[in-house]
Structure 1
Amino acid sequence: MELIPINWLAVGVAFVVVFLAGAVWFGPKTFFPVWWRALGKDPDDMGSGGMNMAVIFGGTAIAAAVQVIGIALAIGVATLAFGAVGPVGGLLIGFTLGVVFTAAGSLSHRLFGQQGFRVWLIEVGSDVLNYTLAGLIIGLFG
């Protein structure tokens, strides 16, 4: 018996879309160079900072999977409570979760870490976009 309905195909599609959107957002022609400089790093040294790239991408993939499953659970609860939410409802749920949990939740970390608003805006811009896209896709699959 499934307590909260989850469409695993929707979760898989949302995961791929979110992972690709993150790659574009932090690509070398988009926000990565600005973000890297805002972190106080040398633009000419855009490497991994000594970390293994498999760990970076593997950890990112695990985090994206957990986030998408969490969004699917939230949409599943909303579906049980109110009926099918559809793509617009999914989008709104994803957007709301992105703003409430990533944007609001990470602001104090960036400020106390003295990384400032630019780093925060770039990072949460990606997060909110990804949560919104995941919500849209999961809502679309119903």
Structure 2
Amino acid sequence: MSLKLNIVKLVTRWRDQGIEILPPFPKEVVHQVFNDIGAHTTDDVVELYESLGGMPNMNDDNWRMWSLQEISDANHDFSEFGVIVSDYLLDCYHFRLKPVSEAVSEVWVEGFDDGPPVCVAKSLDDFFERYVISPESVLNAPYRPTRD
């Protein structure tokens, strides 16, 4: 299934739940925001933000995709695990997009448990395809050992 189709399915689901969806952004704006924070913009990130501009509030799964302004405001320090783009359970967990090619970004999650970030999806397509089927499969962070 395609990323765009999964996003359409989720936007429909979220609107049915009464979740406000922010308008999408043109690709030039997506590139500019990511360039301004020193990040590479992959094709799937552009496709995501050309389809969905974020959410001002959490959805019924307690997840929220950030607007480009929030991404710009929150990503001051470089991380090898990518750019923070969303949160789960009121900022208990942050999801990052890590470019792995010109076309694809992996999705990583980090929490406030001192554990290292963990890759939860090999692409945005994988993330949203699994989210459509079972949000818990990507939102509930996998076990991460704590640092000694």
More strand by share: 2
Larger radius of gyration: 1
- Both structures adopt the same fold (TM-score exceeding 0.5): no
TM-score norm. by structure 2 comes to: 0.27
Using CA pairs under 8 Å that are at least 6 residues apart, name the structure with larger relative contact order, 1 or 2: 1
More helix by share: 1
